[in-house]
Structure 1
């Protein structure tokens, strides 16, 4: 008895933060092509997606879905490497699987194959779809906690503010170091504390001294406690926003910084 050759659309997908090895479109496509050659599956087309899988509102997927819906029988399969390439939303994935079935099309992962006729497969599908998202959330949470811990130790994280440069301490940990513009920043604070100049006039004077800065940026500068040696820690859960003593060298004294805030 002659076995009809199955036909498939290939669906490699990445999002902008998944360009690492193992997730690239070319790698996924190569793996899918070799699988089809081995399994004697005819490749009808390839839809390469660079979009998040939180919903199915993706340009290439919608193009593929449109072709499938208007050309019943054009393919039997939509193949992808892993289930999180298809979706990262369990409810949306179940709904789309049901919709594709109406077109006699089976979505299938070549690395995590499931027989959706078996009820228990739904449990495995949920695991495959949610595990990457849980891992991402855990990494994000670990990063958040790590950053808060570093700030509580007095370390400034991110691009150095005007008057400082990013450096490293003896333990190769981030450290703010005053640069050649620190004296101009200190002068600005001293002049503001006198209450003689309005802030925009003083900003223009600072520009003339060599620091090109806009209004909102200058306003943020003179209210930033980092210049008196403090690190601001934002509120989180039951912990109120507060400042801690930084390990970097302050450009102005705490008294001068407070005097400027009083002038405002």
Structure 2
């Protein structure tokens, strides 16, 4: 069994999303099976967003067809088999390690390690568990402009009806009518909608941007590979020094642990570099189409999906100051759409040269990074 694991074969009952299969020669393997695979992929993607906590995601996943207990889900999201890795435990003189599995990965290594960092508290923390109602869809995302604490929702009875407010429980006593806040939010959301009449232009500019990023990703990948080789060479030299008794075993162990940790971190970073080289035209078409109906999607979806959409467009909390939505960061793709909109309004009669300059400006802003493709996939398939 250990030899089989070293060969990258998964041993045992297939985890949720996979099924045990047999080849013609009788050898065993696991293969993705739908719809369970899509449900499990959705769980990882939702965890990576950091919008809902694990218990909330568990209940939403159950409605989508997840057929395991809450404790079982916790074990599944910790299992590296989903990113194509097989764990080899320590045995005698052999150190524990991961090997590349023969099965098809469900998610990327980058997504898997991002989720692990969130679960371990090394990345963006989960938003607190929030019981919300339709009148307060922004609760949990909306912070006080004075003290930066998250606003709560409450209602008070007027002469003829109830009035709903977002309010701060701190001494600043800030509050805003929920209807006004929701209207301002939708107005801000509309800024990021592409102009439908020039839909093809957005796809062209974003395609240019992706091509530039792909070239940058190639250079970044080359640099990381060189660093990994350098540390592997250092580790090999340390091993030679140990064998020739030029260093003590304790010193070698310290060097091995240090270089091993550095190599693992570099390999993790390498796994997050965009490797997608195929055409993204279909993703661009779907993504831009979905952004065109962004506010309609928000208004027509149920509460949980609407809140997921908020978290996708606004990765960080926002506030309202002087009747304007303010936030530290917006999704890189939608922010680029906003930039294109501004440039288009300034150029009523565009030329090929204008298009080239516009694509360079969007690329050069630094608003789109190597996470471009991940954001685009979410936008393309979310709505």
Report the TM range for the smaller structure's normalisation: 0.3 to 0.5
Q: TM-score, normalised by structure 2?
A: 0.30
Higher relative contact order (CA 8 A, sep 6+): 2
Q: TM-score, normalised by structure 1?
A: 0.43
Highest Rg: 1 or 2? 1
**Structure number with higher helix proportion:** 2
**Structure number with higher strand proportion:** 1
